[in-house]
Amino acid sequence: MKTLGVSIKVVRSAKHGKAVALILALVLFVSLAVVGCAAPTREISDFDGFFEKMLALGQAESIMTWDMETGGMPDGAIDSRANAIAIISSELFDMGTSDEMREFFTAVEAAEKRGEADEINLAVYRIAKSDFDRLNAIPADEYRAFSELTSIAVIKWAEAKEANDYSIFAPYMQQIIDYNRNYADYLIKAGLYSGNPYNAMLADYEPGLTVEMLDEFFGELRSAIVPFLQKIVSSDKQIRSDFLYRGVPIEIQKDVAEWMMGTLGFDMNRGALGESAHPFTNSISHDDVRITTHYDENKYVPSFFAVMHESGHAIYEQNIAEELVGTILDSGVSMGMHESQSRFYENMIGRSRAFWEGMYDDFLAVTDGHFDDISLDEMYEAVNIVEPTMIRLQADELTYSLHIMVRYEIEKAILNDPELTAYDLPEMWNEKMQEYLGLTPSSYAEGILQDIHWAYGEFGYFPTYAIGNAYAAQIRAAMRKEFDVDAAARALDFGTINGWLTDKIHRYGSLFEPSELLLRATGEEFSASHYVDYLIHKYSEIYGI
Ligand code: ZN
């Protein structure tokens, strides 16, 4: 499983594969040490030293990774650093699969049977047991082989993308496909999942999410958004957006980033802002949640929104209840729920007219005259311009989930059609891009080779991006029933907005499964309808259709 620290490090930093996820998942067992139920044969406290050691090793690995990615490490140290991380990882793997761990696990189970486990204990058990079962369902030598495979595949993927030659990557992609098909098979044979084999992949990132739910979700999205996009593309509306890519000195960009983080309610005393090639969030501990951004002197506005996005992830982590500190519940519950928070701040607030109305004078002042000639309306429309693109990472809010739909359908096919090979995928990709976005990639680099996820062996991760957007819209709709969200955004009253989110979502950490958390927060089961309504309403207004 992937909780925040794990998933965010794995994905956004994009330097690790499933091996690191596995190792970090094992680290999650550490927090069981503080759960505090009595064991029948051994006292819980007997395990304290064991878990303290694991926790310390996990933190060391996390900080080493942060240091590597934010430019703290000299280039010459790469080999010794990689070696140190490998040793720590190996030690954590050994400890996580040791007899000591099994005994501890048994002790927690026994406490549950005696009725001595409280809500927190049971939630910790739910997550820990799921991880444990998954880890044990797959032979350790296959995990290791897969880890070696993906570390080579990532290099081959980069070479293939650079050379625009899919044949360099295809043999590795085929092995990754084979591995994941086996992986799903092991998990299903172990009785952990049933139904569509792709369900076993999804569970790694969004517990409880199934193919049936996603088919319904993407079906609604496809029938509403694909024809709507056609109307927008053929509309006469002209939106000017050149100034989004104006150069702004990096010193000013940093000032704006810190001002915006403070405005949104990021607790600077318990976090930090760093720089990296690709923005990410790293939750090292409850009181140490760090985000990064990438400053590009010649492309300012994307960096502004990256800060809002990562702040959303961080504010979620920073507002988890104190009573969950030191347990594995002290982390956002899933990738989708995490993405809902980042997208809420980035898009639902950050790209709303009310927010820009409320902060535009301050924005003009803090950007030191660089946008003084741009009106509020021009800025609002520019940050919401719809332009179908080949590249997911450059996609606007409306078309973003269509990019995810392409990847979801390919991944689902890979897990369900044994005849499908890595060599069939580029054509499949191009057909779906044409169908949903009206574009056909002219190269592999802007087509099937654009994302690193598959080179890391990650199947089942992409859908959480789209699900996160939809959760965010559902959460926004529930929030709007209780107070005037636009008025709060206009007043930059993030005390009210964050207070509601903390009360309904943030404080619970991983106490509830994502579906239960969403139901409790919004009073409804997950549905695509709020997301579709939000998109159609917003973009109909902007484009006058
Ligand atoms: Zn994110």
Share of the chain above pLDDT 70, in %: 91
| pLDDT band, residue 344 (cuts 50/70/90) | very high
Instruction: Kindly report the backbone phi and psi dihedral angles of residue 36, in degrees, each rounded to the nearest multiple of 5, phi listed first.
Output: 80, 35
pLDDT at 30 over 70: no
Domain ranges of the chain: 1-136, 242-388+471-509
Please list, in sequence order, all residues whose beta carbon lies within 8 angstroms of the beta carbon of residue 480, skipping any fewer than 6 positions away.
none
Whose CA is closest to 206, among 396, 522, 448, 470?
470
Residue 93: its pLDDT value, please?
75
**Average pLDDT rounded to a whole number, residues 419-428:** 98
Ligand 1 centre distance from Cα of residue 277 (Å): 15
- Greater model confidence, 154 or 171: 171
Ligand 1 centre distance from Cα of residue 338 (Å): 7
In the CATH hierarchy, which fold is given to the domain comprising 242-388+471-509?
A: Neurolysin; domain 3 (1.10.1370)
Neighbours of 85 (CB within 10 A): 18
Q: Where are the beta strands (DSSP E) in 92-225?
A: none
Q: Which of 69, 310, 317, 397 is catalytic?
A: 310
Ligand 1 centre distance from Cα of residue 350 (Å): 14
Whose CA is closest to 305, among 393, 408, 222?
393
Residue 38: its pLDDT value, please?
41
How do residues 292-333 score in pLDDT, each as one tens digit?
A: 999 988 888 888 999 999 999 999 999 999 998 877 788 899
Residue 32: its pLDDT value, please?
32
DSSP assignment of 201-248: HHTTTSTT--HHHHHHHHHHHHHHHHHHHHHHHTS------GGGG---
pLDDT at 61 over 70: yes
C-alpha 540/C-alpha 112 separation (Å) is 54
Q: How wide is the angle at C-alpha 343 spanned by C-alphas 150 and 493, nearest 5°? A: 145
Active site annotation includes 43: no
Ligand 1 centre distance from Cα of residue 68 (Å): 20
